[in-house]
Structure 1
Amino acid sequence: MFRAFLRNLLSGPVAPQLRRFVVVGAVASVVQTALLWTFVEHGGLDYLLGALLAIELTIVFQYVLNDAWTFRATRNVGRVSYLVGLLKTNVVRGSAIPLQLGVLYVLVTWRSIPYLVANAGAIGLTGLYRYVLDARWTWGR
């Protein structure tokens, strides 16, 4: 059953959409990591506060890219629809923020993993959660 699920993700009808979501997420993770580094190393912020700010900024960035490319077949057209979609993705991704920050905290504090490396792990661990909710609610019809 799990093998069939994975096979469907890689070659089934949602595979192209999932690949685009992963590409957008990878680009956004680079942007988020750069922002996090800037906030911590040059802004003097605590890594958790820096991560929170970086996450929120990349939520908007990802929404624009995902709406235009990943979910173009069901994109949010018109000002109201676009803004409602942005609100929805903020709810989805906002609900993932405690998960991501929790993983980041555990990896840094309990495992002594450098915060930038731990941030990449936290992004990866919460990615599927964000995809499922965004695909079904933000761009679901």
Structure 2
Amino acid sequence: MGDSGYRSVTNHPTVVRLYRFVVVGASAALVQSAVLWLLVELGGLNYLVAATIAIELTIILQFVANNAWTFQHASYSDRSDYLVGLLRTNVVRGSAIPIQLALLWAFVNWAGLVYLLANGFAIFISGLYRYYLDSRWTWQIA
């Protein structure tokens, strides 16, 4: 594949959106991991309770970033639409919380990983599910 073929693939809207979604998600994963660590190590919370709180915080942060950058061409701009989009992403991502927590638990208890590393794997796997549903339902991209 020549240079023009590579550019046509890398500039394809789906590839650009997926790249941006991954960048936003990776940034949010760092924030989520930091909040998780703070709540467990300094706050004394159980890692699953702390993960739930950290996840909800990053759901909101990711919606703001994805609405402004990843899905900017389909972004919600007026207040009522913005709230509808935030509600939709909460449903999508909220449905992913049990998946992520189950994976986190399994990686810690069955694979013996430390909770922060396990959380990273759980974020990645549940992220595939979240991208598919967010792009199709939250921002209604076919």
TM-score by length of 2: 0.91
Amino acid at match of 1:31: V
Paired with 2:98 and 2:65, the residues of 1 have a C-alpha distance of: 23
Cα drift, residue 11 of structure 1? 6.2
Q: Secondary structure at the match of 2:13?
A: coil
Q: State whether structure 2 residue 44 is matched by structure 1 residue 44.
A: yes
RMSD of equivalent CA atoms: 1.5
The aligned residue for residue 105 of structure 2 is 105
Paired with 1:64 and 1:87, the residues of 2 have a C-alpha distance of: 12
Q: Secondary structure at the match of 1:100?
A: helix
Q: What do residues 11-68 of structure 1 show as CA deviations (whole Å, max 9, x unaligned)?
A: 6430001100000000000000000000000000000000000000000000000000
Matches within 5 A, 1:17-56: 17-56=17-56
| Identity of matched residues, % | 56
Paired with 2:139 and 2:77, the residues of 1 have a C-alpha distance of: 11
The aligned residue for residue 5 of structure 1 is none
Matches within 5 A, 1:1-141: 12-140=12-140
* CA radius of gyration, larger in: 2
Paired with 1:128 and 1:100, the residues of 2 have a C-alpha distance of: 11
The aligned residue for residue 6 of structure 1 is none
Cα drift, residue 124 of structure 1? 0.4
Paired with 2:130 and 2:101, the residues of 1 have a C-alpha distance of: 14
Q: What do residues 59-104 of structure 1 show as CA deviations (whole Å, max 9, x unaligned)?
A: 0000000000000000011000000000000000000000000000
Q: Secondary structure at the match of 2:84?
A: helix
Q: Secondary structure at the match of 1:14?
A: helix
Unaligned runs of 5+ in 1: 1-8
TM-score by length of 1: 0.91
Structure 1's consecutive aligned runs of 4 or more residues displaced over 2 angstroms after TM superposition are 9-13
